């Protein structure tokens, strides 16, 4: 038993849990692929590849590029950490597009034929929500910048120990933590 455990690399409970899981998954998968086995497998594989090797690298790259580009082009950065004021509205807008792109991009859906509703508003609604998110974010950043340039009475708040009001440090500076 001990030899088996050493060869397998985990305790037998691990093996039993996974075999049980594969049994149930296999039972369902046999029905899942029964009509279009290749197409279903392509969809399943495509789900993993599409997310892990396409979508995520793309948005990670966008995030890094935004950080790098703004840092290089704008030598005088605001004195407060600003990246999340860009990251959050862009991320939320991207999330809405990711979910509703068939309607927003007016792909060949049955939507109009079966509901009698027009698919036209979705693009405008998405743009409007995106605009509102960026405006809201800009307003919040403006408020924060204003507070940073007119600090409250000295002594009421302990000085921040990193990038924050009063310390013009870039968020990606190697700080004491890295």
Scanning residues 7 to 26, which ones bind another protein (CB under 8 A)? 7-10, 14-15, 17-18, 20-25
Please select the residue that binds another protein; options are 125, 134, 140, 148, rule is CB under 8 A: 125
Least distance (Å) between residue 154 CB and another protein: 19
In the complex with another protein, the residue whose CB is nearer, 42 or 138, is: 42
Secondary structure (3-state) at 63 = helix
Asked whether position 1 contacts another protein by CB under 8 A, the answer is: no
Least distance (Å) between residue 18 CB and another protein: 5
Asked whether position 173 contacts another protein by CB under 8 A, the answer is: yes
User: Within positions 126 to 165, which residues make up the interface with another protein, using CB under 8 A?
Assistant: 126, 128-129, 160-164
Q: Which among 82, 118, 89 is positioned nearest to 103, based on CA atoms?
A: 118
Asked whether position 85 contacts another protein by CB under 8 A, the answer is: no
Quote helix, strand, coil % in the chain, to nearest 5.
70, 0, 30
d(CA 155, CA 75): 30
Tell me the H-state helices in 33-120.
Answer: 37-49, 56-73, 83-104, 111-115
């Amino acid at each position: 038993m001990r030899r088996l455990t050493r060869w397998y690399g985990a305790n037998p409970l691990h093996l039993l849990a996974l075999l049980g899981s594969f049994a149930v998954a296999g039972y369902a998968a046999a029905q899942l692929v029964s009509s279009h086995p290749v197409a279903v497998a392509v969809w399943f594989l495509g789900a993993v590849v599409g997310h892990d090797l396409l979508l995520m690298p793309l948005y990670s790259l966008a995030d890094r590029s935004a950080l790098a580009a703004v840092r290089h082009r704008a030598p005088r950065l605001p004195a407060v950490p600003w990246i999340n004021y860009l990251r959050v509205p862009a991320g939320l807008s991207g999330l809405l597009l990711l979910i509703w792109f068939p309607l927003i991009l007016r792909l060949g859906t049955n939507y109009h034929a079966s509901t009698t509703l027009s698919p036209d508003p979705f693009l405008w609604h998405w743009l409007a929500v995106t605009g509102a998110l960026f405006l809201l974010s800009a307003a919040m950043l403006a408020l924060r910048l204003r507070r940073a340039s007119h600090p409250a009475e000295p002594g009421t708040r302990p000085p921040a120990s990193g990038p924050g009001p009063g310390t013009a440090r870039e968020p990606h500076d190697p700080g004491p933590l890295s």
